[in-house]
Amino acid sequence: MRILHKGRQPEKSLFFRYYQWILWFSFTLYFLTSFFITNKPITLSKPRASGSKLSLPSRVLFESVNKTSQQPYLKNPAMFKDLKIFIYELPSEYNENWLSNKRCSNHLFASEVAIHRALLNADDFRTFDPNEADLFFVPVYVSCNFSTVNGFPTIVHARSLLFSAIQFITKNYPFWNRSQGFDHIFVASHDYGACFHAMEDRAIDNGIPEFLMNSILLQTFGVNYKHPCQDVENVLIPPYISPEGIRKTLEKAPLTGNRDIMVFFRGKMEVHPKNVSGKFYSKRVRTEIWRRYKGDRRFYLQRHRFTGYQSEITRSVFCLCPLGWAPWSPRLVESVALGCVPVIIADGIRLPFSSAVKWSEISLTVAEREVGKLGQILEHVAATNLSTIQ
């Protein structure tokens, strides 16, 4: 475990370095889940299923009753009374200017905006005096440059924008040079974190910029094996979803909580997957799901976008969360928030806060190679082990 090199008392350094993990677990979990803590429970209606027995080589994880406390974890003042974070005030071209596009604060990678906004109002541990800070947050929005061709975020400018921000804080503050960025925090909420590319092979070739190698990265990408794009001090955070969007969906959800869709997925499923530099989207997993189950009445599969798709999640028992180019997906968080059992199909994925969140009680994992058995697996779970989700 690293020890921070900073101006505070040395004997406190290890304590604060250790508790930054608890801070980010508590803070991010609070931000992403507190919005539905006080909402009404959602009940699953048990789907009809066959009673056949099945040997399950996949890791099958079953849902249990939600025991979330009624108060967000962040409200524990004793844990945060001594930990201090300083937020750099950067020129607007690094963050605020990007918000002229409304998508910047609501899209797939918007946790970089959401975390910054939440920290600005985190009176419990924010400090305006950098000399008493334990950690330094660098608010740079690198994923808000949307392509005029396909509308997707482009991050080709990410490295230069971040490097420019570091040059600015180095010129105007002494704290980066004091620790070589050791106690500085960045958000890297992209497909492969700070490797800044959507394609894994290109991301690996790019690697993490040398100027970020000493810092702490909050990232959505994580796998349980060695990978160059997580070869840095990192905290795995959940993908961003809009709390307001979830609230509105829950308000419109049927009071009965009945779920008439057994298995749901809406998203990109290529009928004829394209070979992109020797790689196929989703490793052909989504294509296989479509090929095998498009005519199966148990499966509600849709290949086109629909703005009201969250209402479909509230009607569903199982929500498929297959990999795309990267293993992680916001569907994981949306499913949990809306009471649908997430079915994770992404070999080797590392889930956020796995040491504290009991994913084994709220999700189901199916190996990529076993997609052909997906129908049987879900029938078995529905018939024998499906519990109530709140």
pLDDT tens for each residue of 96-113: 988 888 888 888 888 899
Of the options 3.30.460, 3.30.1360, 3.30.70, 3.40.50, the CATH number for the domain spanning 243-388: 3.40.50
| Residue pair 277/201 in contact by the 8 Å Cβ criterion | yes
Name which of 19-33, 127-141, 303-317 the model is least confident about.
19-33
Distance of alpha carbon 197 from alpha carbon 211, whole angstroms: 17
Please give the average per-residue pLDDT across 269-298, as a whole number. 89
12 pLDDT tier (thresholds 50, 70, 90): very low
Please give the average per-residue pLDDT across 25-51, as a whole number. 42
- The whole-number pLDDT of residue 78 equals 53
Is pLDDT of 15 > 70? no
CA 145 to chain centre: 20
Q: Report helix, strand or coil for 153.
A: strand
Is pLDDT of 175 > 50? yes
| Residue pair 140/169 in contact by the 8 Å Cβ criterion | no
pLDDT tens for each residue of 336-350: 999 999 999 999 999
271 pLDDT tier (thresholds 50, 70, 90): confident
Q: Report helix, strand or coil for 335.
A: helix
Instruction: Give the predicted TM-score (pTM) of the model.
Output: 0.79
At residue 236, what are phi and psi to the nearest 5 degrees? -80, 125
- The whole-number pLDDT of residue 83 equals 82
Name which of 18-22, 36-40, 138-142, 220-224 the model is least confident about.
36-40
Task: Supply the mean pLDDT for the chain.
Answer: 79
Q: Domain extents for the chain? A: 85-236, 243-388
Distance of alpha carbon 376 from alpha carbon 11, whole angstroms: 56
29 pLDDT tier (thresholds 50, 70, 90): very low
- The whole-number pLDDT of residue 152 equals 63
